[in-house]
Amino acid sequence: MRKITIKEVAKEAGVSISTVSNALNNVDVLNPKTKAHILEVAERLHYVPNLNGRNLKSKTTKVLGLFVNSMKGPYYGTLVDTMYLECEKNGYELQVFISKNSMDMMTNILGKRVDGAVILNGWIGEEQETALRKEKIPTIFLDREICSQKISSLVFDSYTQGADAGRYLLTLGHKTFGYIRGAENNYDSSERFKGYSHVLEEAGHPLLTENIFDGFFDRDATYQATMKLLEKERKLPRAVFAANDQSAIGFMEALRECNISVPEEISIIGCDNIDISQWFTPRLTTIDTFYEKQGRMAVIQLLKLIRGEKIGTIQKVVGKIIERDSCQHA
Amino acid sequence: MRKITIKEVAKEAGVSISTVSNALNNVDVLNPKTKAHILEVAERLHYVPNLNGRNLKSKTTKVLGLFVNSMKGPYYGTLVDTMYLECEKNGYELQVFISKNSMDMMTNILGKRVDGAVILNGWIGEEQETALRKEKIPTIFLDREICSQKISSLVFDSYTQGADAGRYLLTLGHKTFGYIRGAENNYDSSERFKGYSHVLEEAGHPLLTENIFDGFFDRDATYQATMKLLEKERKLPRAVFAANDQSAIGFMEALRECNISVPEEISIIGCDNIDISQWFTPRLTTIDTFYEKQGRMAVIQLLKLIRGEKIGTIQKVVGKIIERDSCQHA
DNA sequence: TTGATAAATAAAAACGTTTTTATTTTGGAG
DNA sequence: CTCCAAAATAAAAACGTTTTTATTTATCAA
């Protein structure tokens, strides 16, 4: 049994291939009867169009691509699922491209495998940015602020989140502060740091370098680092802001292990409001970044760029503090 | 500035397009000097091959596809990341196709967008299965047992997992048992159920219908369902097996809310050994399903099918009980 | 030098579609 | 009937590659 192409369908139905194509893409130029007949034949032969041929000629794929270098962590699943929902609503497919090297990513984008791209944490540099700009590929960046005709940014307002966290802890009367930072060179982590430290500085309680800890956005890494820290018997700050909830939780786990009680001895506020933060004991005070919303907005904005309804902009999603049980007055 | 195709590169380099193609795909039939020159020109013009054209003609994509209907939950991230690693090692790309309808999925597979497919939870039926078999598309199923020339299954030995859980709880001397099942019609959930209930039955302590609870593999759903259940003041079984860790944790959270202590009043064993199970209090006794291993094995097996080195088989990954703090003697 | 062979390059065909252009068929008005 | 326009269909071109086949150029033994 040979491979069924549009040619076989045409032959079997006794029409030309262009007529089959028209029937398939419901162009309403056909006699309804012929169309029905062709569709019946296609169905019977189990014809499935070759997407490479189709996409090559039509220069469109109806696919949006999400480009990431990993899927680990509670964040991605939600992001993908909300993006999918919005794509489906608009007749687009969603495909996720995993890649730790920016070349594969660029090949897929510039090689026309998608109509538009959402880039989360490709380690892409100046060169790739300009390539995307020049080729006018509709693109949304989730991890940096850049914008051009076909490129939009949709980032968390991380600076303000940091500032809010700082102000909140100050309101509670704390005087010594710590920060658990995320991955190096990460936009969100460094913005949160800037906002946080700026507010503390202004209030006359600057963040000391020795109180900046590494968490890498990771629960386990933070746990390990904190345990190591605690071996040294050094004095900890009274209030801590973690760059994300996972770090906050890893931190609290280490503290619990060492019988340091939260929030009595240390207040801690996280960021992201991931599912688990409301289940942990003590329930984690955190900043809701509305990251489910981000996925939806990214798709909506990307479709506008594709359709040419809008040119690129930089949008910032503001967060909101969720008060729970991990912070208390000094 | 027009779009750069292989034709532009050929003209600029003063050679034919077939020569450019040869240079690009490092076929070693070219004069090294010409090849270097062509590569230099391609680089300078920022040439990127159109993947649709390439894949159309060459009939291969060097892409493996993972087909799922959702990405939520701690399981997927790990699966994807381990699959990616194995793909990369073998010169393949990994792309994840999200889709809640089986048609999109089939279009992508039969439409030749991937060289092989790993199917996790497409709701695919008889018809799709035979289509895949007939077309001889290399495929790995992670959610059912089927096999043919180009189709392999790689499932958890869920029956044995269930039986092991049952035996373990029996060993601890328990007499009344419960089961928190997963999504309806789910292979793993029903296999675990079969193994579990069979062992209990044989031991003379059959699982009562009233002690089968709905968890849908979901922490929150299980929590809600359990809270509802506890309103009724009915007697709970002394030992419970949950179809996955998330359910186990949702269950324990509800119990804690109602001041029922684990493991003193109820012993509970989960399944999967997700990250969080070792962090939860009490630390969850569970069955390690080695699902990171599954991702790697799936890719390895799929590549063998693609290369024609092997024909389809059904493989079962056996699990192992991890004893922690959520179970104790009756 | 010549001729044969190998090496290097070019030309043409093919992949499976959609799109553009051309042709045939149909349906009325006169 | 005949003719013309509209409707329906078919033919041909195009999309950007790789692969197959053909041609040119270089190499070297006689």
At A94-110, the pLDDT tens digits run 999 999 999 999 999 99
Burial class (CB in 10 A: 0-12, 13-18, 19+), B272: buried
A232 pLDDT more than 90: no
Report which of B306, B161, B92, B98 is spatially closest to residue A94, judged by C-alpha positions: B98
Mean pLDDT value of segment B190-204: 97
Q: State the nucleotide closest to B22 in CA–C1' terms.
A: D18
Residue B179 pLDDT grade (very low, low, confident, very high; cuts 50, 70, 90): very high
- Based on its alpha-carbon atoms, the radius of gyration of chain B, rounded to whole angstroms, reads 26
* Cα–Cα distance for residue pair B81/A83, rounded to 1 Å: 20
Residue A184 pLDDT grade (very low, low, confident, very high; cuts 50, 70, 90): confident
> Is B52 in contact with A112 (Cβ distance < 8 A)?
yes
Whole-number average pLDDT of chain B: 95
Residue A121 pLDDT grade (very low, low, confident, very high; cuts 50, 70, 90): confident
Phi, psi of B288, rounded to the nearest 5 degrees: -75, 120
Q: State the nucleotide closest to B10 in CA–C1' terms.
A: C10
Return the pLDDT at A201. Answer: 97
Report which of A268, A266, A286 is spatially closest to residue A276, judged by C-alpha positions: A286
Cβ B302 vs Cβ B275: under 8 Å: no
User: Other C-beta atoms within 10 Å of B126: how many?
Assistant: 7
Residue A185 pLDDT grade (very low, low, confident, very high; cuts 50, 70, 90): confident
Residue B1 pLDDT grade (very low, low, confident, very high; cuts 50, 70, 90): low
Report which of B294, B299, B270, B298 is spatially closest to residue B282, judged by C-alpha positions: B270
Return the pLDDT at A243. Answer: 97
With 0.85 as the threshold, say if the pTM is over it. yes
Mean pLDDT value of segment A261-278: 94
Q: How far is A213 from chain B (nearest CA, A)?
A: 21
Residue B237 pLDDT grade (very low, low, confident, very high; cuts 50, 70, 90): very high
In sequence order, which residues have a C-beta less than 8 Å from that of residue A58 and are 6 or more positions away?
A: none
Return the pLDDT at B184. Answer: 84
Distance A127 CA to C10 C1' (A): 34
- Based on its alpha-carbon atoms, the radius of gyration of chain A, rounded to whole angstroms, reads 26
**CB within 7 A of strand D (chain B, 43-62):** 47-50, 52-54, 56-58
> Is B106 in contact with A76 (Cβ distance < 8 A)?
no
Distance A27 CA to D2 C1' (A): 33
B26 in contact with nucleic chain D (CB within 7 A): no
Distance A56 CA to C23 C1' (A): 27
B81, B84, B111 ranked by CB distance to A48: nearest: B111
Q: How far is CA B11 from CA A243, B39, B40, in A?
A: 53, 13, 13
Q: State the nucleotide closest to A7 in CA–C1' terms.
A: C16
Return the pLDDT at B85. Answer: 97
In sequence order, which residues have a C-beta less than 8 Å from that of residue A44 and are 6 or more positions away?
A: none
Q: DSSP code of A4?
A: P
Distance A29 CA to C26 C1' (A): 15
Which nucleotides of strand C are protein-proximal, with an atom < 7 A from a CB?
7-12, 14-20
* Cα–Cα distance for residue pair A27/B150, rounded to 1 Å: 37
Return the pLDDT at A329. Answer: 94
Return the pLDDT at A120. Answer: 92
